[in-house]
Structure 1
Amino acid sequence: MADFSYSQLSLKEFHDDGYSVRALRLEDILDIKQWRNEQMAVLRQKTVLTDEDQRRYYRQVIAPSFEQEYPGLMLFSYFLEGRLIGYGGLTNLDWDHRRAEISYLVETARSHEKDAGRYEEDFSHFLRLMKRIAFEELALNRLFTETFDIRPLHVSILEKNGFKPEGRLNQHVRLNGSYLDSLVHGCLKEFEHVEG
């Protein structure tokens, strides 16, 4: 399979204590499809994805992003000791304003709050890798997230990793017939150097 990478980055793979990310691989998209379908309740995904949906998305959105000077997103396969455990990256990239939204999803077996320690370790390493790429490699100024207010563990990990609460979007999403709030968190490059 072709080994793609983003031209804006100095390395093909970034490492953090056994964890690593590299540009999203075609061979990983069907695993990701399964995890997305299993975890739709925490995603902005409205319908169950098919294999063809995933292949089309990779062909039409992901593959072209590797060659764009200013891609709108940079997605990565996420590994622990060389084994795929998730994916995510920088979405809604705004190069003029130097900001991006963090996207993150791990395999369903690793996402359950009953194993909070493992989830915290996985997510914390991913956030460190994304901050390194965003602030050191891409010279972005700001990262932000939106989290449904049904994920207290996820929110606490964001805050432990330097993401500050910035606001609550009241009844912002509808899930299973109920309205949920969304929580917005942000992390600025200038504070990362002081606090990080």
Structure 2
Amino acid sequence: MKSYKCLSNQVIEFDNFKIVPLRYEDRLDILKWRNEQIYHLRQNKLLTVEDQENYFNIIVDKLFNQEQPNQILFSYLEKDVCIGYGGLVHINWIDKNAEISFIMDTALEKDNFHANWTKYLSLIEKVAFEDLKLHKIFTYAFDLRPHLYFALQDANFIEETRLKEHCLFDGKFIDVVIHSKINNRC
């Protein structure tokens, strides 16, 4: 398993769930999920296997050795099987904040969306607040999945702002909703 130079704890666990530094072996599952869920991602085209290989070999591989990478990505596992991935992205080391990114296996969304989101949030929060000592973490979400807001609220995130008609989606402008959480441990 690769490890991030910037983290003292590489594996964060709770019950049968854990996040580990992004595994190369999960890249094709992640590719599939990203393409299936393109509607809510900031991704403007379907990814190819070549795109994914390049991303892992050129972008992701460099992150592990950086003192302050702009993103820290994880495979999200249940009983050691990858069922999602995400991380802290757009990390601002000066202002001590980062955006949370997460997608799960599309097949799990219907019945396990809330449970997986809240478990993942508790794990990534430990990385952000306990290990990295960030001040704030937040989500940036197209207003397409209102069930996401319930998981965020249950994890004590607050709706910080709504950017009205901020993105063009399917021929109409939609809002972007930002939820955040402040580190009260510092």
TM range (shorter): over 0.9
| RMSD of aligned residue pairs (Cα, Å) | 1.2
2:43 is paired with a residue whose SS is coil
Q: Does 1:181 align with 2:160?
A: no
Match of 1:77 among 75, 94, 101: 75
SS at match of 1:111: helix
Work out the number of aligned pairs and report it. Answer: 186
Q: CA deviation at 1:8?
A: 2.1
**Residue matched to 1:98:** 96
Q: Which amino acid in structure 2 is aligned with residue 83 of structure 1?
A: V
CA distance in 2, matches of 1:111, 1:173: 24
Give 1:148 shift.
Answer: 1.4
TM-score by length of 1: 0.92
**Residue in structure 2 matched with residue 32 of structure 1 by the alignment:** 30
Aligned partners of 1:149, 1:135: CA distance in 2, in Å? 27
Partner of 2:116: 122
CA contact (8 A) 2:162 2:175 kept: yes
The aligned counterpart of 2:154 is: 160
Deviations 1:44-64 (A, max 9, x none): 110000001011111111110
Taking the aligned partners of 2:165 and 2:149, their CA distance within structure 1 comes to 17
8 Å CA contact 1:147, 1:155 repeated in 2 = no
* Match 2:134 to one of 135, 140, 163: 140
**Partners of 1:111 and 1:75 in 2: CA distance:** 20
Q: Distance in 2 between matches of 1:82 and 1:119?
A: 19
Relative to the length of structure 2, the TM-score reads 0.97
CA distance in 1, matches of 2:25, 2:82: 10
Q: Which residue of 2 aligns with 1:67?
A: 65
- Between the aligned residues of both structures, percent identity stands at 38
CA displacement, residues 101-129 of structure 1 (integer Å, 9 cap, x when unaligned): 000000110123xx2xx211111110000
5+ unaligned residues in a row in structure 2: which ranges?
Answer: none
